[in-house]
Structure 1
Amino acid sequence: MPDLDTGHLFLNFLVPIREGAPVNSPTSYEQNVRIELAKLPPPHQSPATINAKYNSPFSRNLRTHLVRMFVLNDVVYNGRNWMNPLIDVARGIDTVNPNPMDQLNCSYLVFAADIDAIEKDGDPLPKTLSPEAQKKVRLAYAALLWETMEAELQAIFCNCVGFSDNVTDEKSFGRYLERCHIETTMPFHDYYLKLPKFNNLPVVPLAAAIAIPALFTLTALAARIFGHFTLWGYNTLTLTALGAVITAVAAFGAYRFVIVNGNKPLAPGEYDDLPSVLKGLYVQQAFADFTIEAQGKSATDLHDAFGVFLKTHAPSNRNAPTQPPAVTCSLRNPGERGAVS
């Protein structure tokens, strides 16, 4: 199913950027978008940013696993489509002139995000969602972004077509993004601790369902060609036509089965939601510190220390203490890992 996989929505929005420039502005709308994107604080995920005052505005919510925004001026030309030069000459094709090239009608702001497919925080990740349910998730996510980073969104999207005239609140922002939504079938991540049961095709039964009536059809046709007008007491021409129809129906049914099976989303993993991922990162760091500190302890001291560890870090509680979004590690001070309240 487009967009949905492993309990997440993989969103893509292509938002057209206004042409020209604002009145009395030295920069174009497109350049303004680039400037505003460059002004967004980076996440604290590198030594250069880990002590920065501000974090990415997308870290203000607990649904965004990954997000990327950039300006797309035009599509890339991948070169001519391959053709046989002899056939080109025979058809009178001028190979000097290039093939027609796809081009965008304007520059676009690309907004791609991988989010938990939920309408409110704390909901379990869904195994499947109808198109209407997916739309509700997108609208809920747009409302969450507006609630947590309205100022940044206003600064970026005011340079896009129709935004200033139509967007005033979280609902209108959701409707605006919906108009720019395009479906994707390419997931961005994989959190599985163990691989799920994939939607494997029953290749042998599908092949048999087509091959058996096809073989019957060929047998009846061969009998007709070699002068046998009846087979098993039936007219071979009738048998050939009937077999061909059954083969065609079986082939179409197998094709539809393959398409439907391929559209099935994979089930979410046990710990695929963002709060669980953050908690896993936090416990991993805390346990690494505990392991180092526990070296050389007696069995009794180790048992007591592990009890303190469980009480302090609460591994079964995914909400607290935990890893903040968009940071490399849970830091209280530079170079020091510890619990986050």
Structure 2
Amino acid sequence: MPNLDGGHYFLTILIPVRTDLVDPGAIAPISHLHALKTELERLLPARQSPVTSKADRDGNSPFARSNRTHFARLFVIDDVAFNGRVPKNTLVSAIKGAVLTDPQPVDHLSQPFLAFTADFDPKGNGDTEPTDYLKHLWSVMEADLRRVFQHCLQFDTVRDGASFAAWVIKGQLETTMPFNDYWITPPPFPSISTKLLTVIAAVPAAAMLICLIGAFCAWLFNHPMNAWITYAGIAFLLTLIAIGIDYIMVMRAGAKPLPTAPNSDLRSVLKSMYLQQNFIDFMGDHQLSSPAELRAAFREFVARTAPDDLDRQTQSPGVIRS
């Protein structure tokens, strides 16, 4: 799957962390890795849980200043996890006399990495992403980004939003399994025809089979069979080509991004959450209302919440309730 799917861009970044000390001449010097983890601990999370939404807590996640970010996460990867020995067939290992206590090669990272993942609304058709989004982030949370990314390699080359975007993109990985849950109905994404795929491969395969049967009959009745063998070889090559065509068609169909779900940009999602919460309260408040009272109250509800206006009376980013 591509980075751009379902109308959203799925950004995956891995940037190497510096392994030297922040201030080698200090009385108690600390490493850039330790300083980075401290900055990530200080970075405020969004107010989207009972713990982070306490009334006495000030501030919100800096990503809440962005009107394009659905989800964002920053974390450190110190090393790859060891998943245990590579499994092998027990009988084969016993026959070969494999010693299960002998160590196998274990992968390690050369240094820690800072991982940055984000799901955001692209601009237009996404041709300018993720450069445009990274420049947008720099414009709304430059100070926070500097405090975090200053502990990564070559951050000293960053001067502005454009250089920040260019530096970050050097560590971009393709997102191979994006998750998008905004479609509430099956998307209008036609499946490739299995009948067409079958016909493309079956026609030359059937021709090859006929040629082989003809060659067998010619051999059986002591007739020349060279022509049949030649035609069978040609049909075999055509069958391989047809299978290759089928494979290309399937891979191209699988690489196509899902279309954008209706009303799935961040502004629309926030507005829908605001309307949902307020409409639940509205239903609870008018359980015993008469039809006339209900109609009047609903007109007032629509006027107050303005369902068609995405920017007026909506939920703010980074909070669980409006």
TM-score (norm 1): 0.86
Q: Specify the SS of the correspondent of 1:235.
A: helix
CA distance in 1 between partners of 2:246 and 2:239 (Å) = 10
> Secondary structure at 1:77's aligned position in 2?
coil
Q: How do 1:257-336 and structure 2 match up within 5 A?
A: 257-330=249-322
What amino acid is aligned across from residue 106 of structure 1 in structure 2? Q
- Pair 1:87–1:296, CA change in 2 (3 A): closer
Does the aligned pair in 1 maintain the 2:131–2:165 contact within 8 Å? yes
C-alpha contact 2:67 2:317 (8 A) present in aligned 1: yes
Please give the alpha-carbon distance, in whole angstroms, between the structure 2 residues aligned to 1:46 and 1:109: 25
Summarize the Cα distance change of 1:224–1:96 in structure 2 as closer, same or farther, 3 Å threshold: farther
**Counterparts of 1:309 and 1:78, CA distance in 2:** 55
- The alignment status of 1:223 with 2:214, answered yes or no, reads yes
1:22 Cα offset (Å): 1.3
C-alpha change, 1:79 and 1:207, in structure 2 (3 Å) is: farther
Q: Indicate conservation of the 8 Å contact 2:6/2:180, yes or no.
A: no
Q: How big is each residue's C-alpha offset from its partner over 1:60-82, in whole Å with a ceiling of 9 and x where there is no partner?
A: 01111111110001112223333
Given candidates 67, 87, 91, the residue that maps to 1:62 is 67
- Equivalent in 36, 40, 52 of residue 37 of structure 1: 40
Letter in 2 for 1:33: L
Task: Name the SS for the 2:152 alignment partner.
Answer: coil
Instruction: Report which stretch shifted further, 172-181 or 302-311.
Output: 302-311
For structure 1, which runs of at least 5 residues remain unmatched after alignment?
Answer: 331-341
Q: Could you say what secondary structure the match of 1:137 adopts?
A: coil
Q: What does residue range 159-174 of structure 1 map to in structure 2 within 5 Å?
A: 159-163=151-155, 165-174=156-165
Task: Name 1:249's counterpart in structure 2.
Answer: 241
Match in the other structure for 2:50? 47
Q: Which amino acid aligns with 2:254?
A: G
Distance 2:100 2:206 in 1: 46
Partner in structure 2 of residue 6 of structure 1:
6
- What is the alpha-carbon distance in structure 2 between the residues aligned to residue 36 and residue 256 of structure 1? 47
Give secondary structure in 1 for the equivalent of 2:282. Answer: helix
Instruction: Give the number of aligned pairs.
Output: 314
* Runs of 5+ consecutive residues of structure 2 not aligned to the other structure: none
Query: Partner amino acid for 2:234?
Result: L
* Displacement after TM superposition at 1:86 (Å): 5.2
The more displaced of 275-284 and 21-30 is: 21-30
Partner of 2:168: 177
What corresponds to 1:333 in structure 2?
Answer: none
Letter in 2 for 1:115: F
Q: Which moved more, 1:183-192 or 1:165-174?
A: 183-192
Corresponding residue number in structure 1 for 2:188: 197
Separation in 2, partners of 1:60, 1:94: 57
Where does residue 87 of structure 2 map in the other structure? 82
Check the 8 A contact 1:7/1:116 in 2, yes or no. yes
Q: Cα 1:31–1:240, aligned 2, differ >3 Å: closer, same or farther?
A: same
Deviation digits for residues 246-296 of structure 1 (CA, Å, limit 9, x no counterpart): 101100000000110010000011011010000000000111111122222
Give, in angstroms, the shift of residue 192 of structure 1.
1.1
Contact 1:199 1:261 in 2 (8 A): no
In the TM superposition, residue 238 of structure 1 has moved relative to its aligned partner by: 1.8
The 8 Å contact of residues 199 and 264 in structure 1, kept in 2 or not, is answered as no
Residues 1:238 and 2:230 aligned together: yes
CA distance 1:114–1:230, change in 2 (3 Å): farther
2:9, 2:119 within 8 Å by CA — same for their partners in 1? yes
Please give the alpha-carbon distance, in whole angstroms, between the structure 2 residues aligned to 1:89 and 1:45.
54
Q: 1:108 is matched with which residue: 90, 113, 120? A: 113
Distance 1:196 1:253 in 2: 26
